[in-house]
A and B are shown apart, each in its own frame.
Chain A
């Protein structure tokens, strides 16, 4: 099984600050996805990155896929309380088609 390590595990910041969440692996991934999960709900897909070096923007969120396709980052600019939630990265879990592996998640709290 290919492993994904996320850091930090917890992040508590004030509204307006910037932050970056990292998702790292020793394995190469064909693609990586980022999800956000709010309490009492299932994860919701934010973005999929498939090309090494790719950068995708979603309003104040910027996602980057590493050149070697072993890591990804999520950067949030001017965080708002509505960004509070659990952020998860995920990727195909190895040689078995259909397996999906998730990072441990980053719990983000943005204080007003």
Chain B
């Protein structure tokens, strides 16, 4: 079954404590991306990756890091989380970045920073 898997699904953490949200896809997709979803703002792109070792900033990259060492994995790293990073996070993948490709989303990770 085609899947994008994120972990953890729910996390409460404290300000400044580094955390990683993992993302894995089993479809051999080249393109992967991270979004955050906040009320009234829709989804905003944090980082994206066109392929292994190729990453680039989206619209809201501040406070986040990513890496793409393997095709299937695209972890999102918060080196020093702050309360304004409390949000619902989605990882997504598609075959390529070409417009028109179906984008598959994970189920989301609820992150609360206190």
Contact = CB atoms under 8 A, between A and B. Distances in A.
Nearest to A1: B59
A44 B92 CA distance: 11
Contacts of B107: 40-42
Interface stretch (B64-72, B73-81, B98-106): B98-106
Contact of B33 (A31, A50, A91, A100): A100
Given A42-B105, A44-B105, A99-B59, A31 B100 contact: yes
B56 A96 contact: yes
Nearest to B106: A42
Interface in B5-53: 31, 33, 35, 40-45, 48, 50
A55 B13 CA distance: 46
A9 interface: yes
A50 B100 contact: yes
A102 B56 CA distance: 18
A85 interface: no
A50 B100 CA distance: 8
A88 B42 contact: yes
A98 B59 contact: no
A104 B99 contact: no
Given A40-B108, A91-B99, A98 B48 contact: yes
29 contacts: A9-B40, A31-B99, A31-B100, A40-B107, A41-B107, A41-B108, A42-B90, A42-B107, A43-B105, A48-B99, A50-B100, A88-B43, A90-B43, A93-B45, A93-B58, A96-B56, A97-B97, A98-B31, A99-B45, A99-B48, A99-B59, A100-B33, A100-B45, A100-B48, A101-B59, A102-B35, A102-B44, A104-B41, A104-B42
> 7 shortest A-B CB distances, which residue pairs?
A42-B105, A31-B99, A102-B42, A102-B43, A98-B97, A104-B42, A98-B48
Given A100-B33, A102-B43, 6 more contacts: A33-B99, A42-B4, A48-B100, A93-B59, A99-B48, A102-B44
